[in-house]
């Protein structure tokens, strides 16, 4: 198991312990374990914004997976991609799920904000456990939703997180931001476009 996954497991246990314990001494021990998890995480990959201990302690309640939503928008056999300002690589439009929005609402909003195109969500194509796919290891456990979206209108536009937008075919994939999407996942999305009768992928 990768070291970051150990930290992930340790944080999950401590967060659950802090949620359910009523013993002040146990609470103190769980808080010490959080500090240990933060120290280990920092030794693996230094936090880019807030210190690890602040990131870890910001999570409250029973630990559950985070949700990332990606939009699959097709035009003339090609899929819509956006180039991430964070790493200069390409991804399907999308991002973390926000509380109060459905997956379809998130997909539609993310496409508009990141690319300038207006779409309508029509089908859940895949629900993946990110840890079971070829992504770089990361701290948060995550489920990824891929939502088919029909192109309605709009025009290419750059956003805060977007350096560029473009449509690419299966034989001309750009360098991918693998923290967000993998080549295998993208090729599965092309299969769904070519064969709309396919059932939703999962795991």
**pLDDT given at position 5:** 86
**31: its two tokens:** 């808080």
Look up the pTM and report it. 0.88
**Antiparallel, parallel or unpaired: β 78-84 and 162-168:** antiparallel
Q: What is the per-residue pLDDT across 172-186, written as a single tens digit (0 to 9) for each? A: 999 999 999 999 999
Pair 75, 127 in one domain: yes
Per-residue DSSP letter, 21: -
**pLDDT given at position 48:** 73
Q: What is the per-residue pLDDT across 14-27, written as a single tens digit (0 to 9) for each? A: 999 999 999 999 99
Domain that holds residue 23: 3-57
Q: Sort residue 43 into left (φ over 0), alpha (ψ -120 to 50) or beta.
A: alpha
**172: its two tokens:** 């001309």
Pair 90, 187 in one domain: yes
Helical pair 3-20 and 24-44, crossing angle rounded to 10 deg: 160
CATH code of the domain covering residue 145? 3.90.79.10
Residue 114: which of 139, 143, 149 has the closest Cα?
A: 149
Average of pLDDT values for 72-95?
97
Pair 178, 81 in one domain: yes
Pair 139, 195 in one domain: yes
**pLDDT given at position 50:** 86
Pair 70, 14 in one domain: no
Average of pLDDT values for 81-98?
96
| d(C-alpha 37, C-alpha 84), whole Å | 30
Average of pLDDT values for 133-159?
94
Residue 148: which of 110, 119, 115 has the closest Cα?
A: 119
| Residue 13 pLDDT > 60 | yes
State how many domains the chain has. Answer: 2
Pair 16, 105 in one domain: no
Pair 39, 102 in one domain: no
| Residue 75 pLDDT > 80 | yes
Q: What is the per-residue pLDDT across 26-66, written as a single tens digit (0 to 9) for each? A: 999 999 999 999 999 999 888 777 899 998 999 899 999 99
Query: Residue 16: CB partners within 8 Å, gap ≥ 6?
Result: 62, 63
| Residue 169 pLDDT > 90 | yes
Pair 48, 71 in one domain: no
The position carrying tokens 């991918």 is 176
**pLDDT given at position 1:** 53
């Amino acid at each position: 198991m990768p070291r970051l996954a150990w930290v992930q497991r340790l944080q999950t246990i401590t967060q659950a312990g802090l949620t359910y314990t009523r013993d002040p001494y146990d609470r103190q021990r769980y808080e010490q374990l959080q500090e240990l998890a933060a120290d280990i995480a920092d030794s693996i990959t230094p936090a880019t914004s807030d210190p690890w201990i602040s990131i870890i302690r910001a999570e409250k309640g029973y630990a559950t997976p985070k949700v990332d939503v990606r939009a699959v928008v097709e035009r003339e056999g090609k899929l819509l991609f956006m180039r991430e300002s964070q790493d200069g690589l390409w991804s399907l439009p999308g991002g973390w799920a926000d509380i109060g929005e459905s997956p379809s609402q998130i997909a539609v909003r993310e496409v508009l904000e990141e690319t300038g195109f207006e779409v309508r969500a029509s089908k859940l194509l895949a629900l993946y456990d990110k840890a079971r796919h070829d992504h770089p290891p990361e701290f948060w456990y995550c489920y990824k939703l891929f939502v088919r979206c029909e192109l309605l209108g709009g025009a290419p536009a750059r956003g805060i997180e977007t350096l560029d937008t473009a449509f690419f075919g299966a034989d001309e994939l750009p360098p991918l931001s693998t923290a967000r999407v993998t080549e295998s996942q993208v090729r599965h999305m092309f299969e769904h476009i070519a064969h709309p009768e396919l059932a939703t992928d999962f795991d």
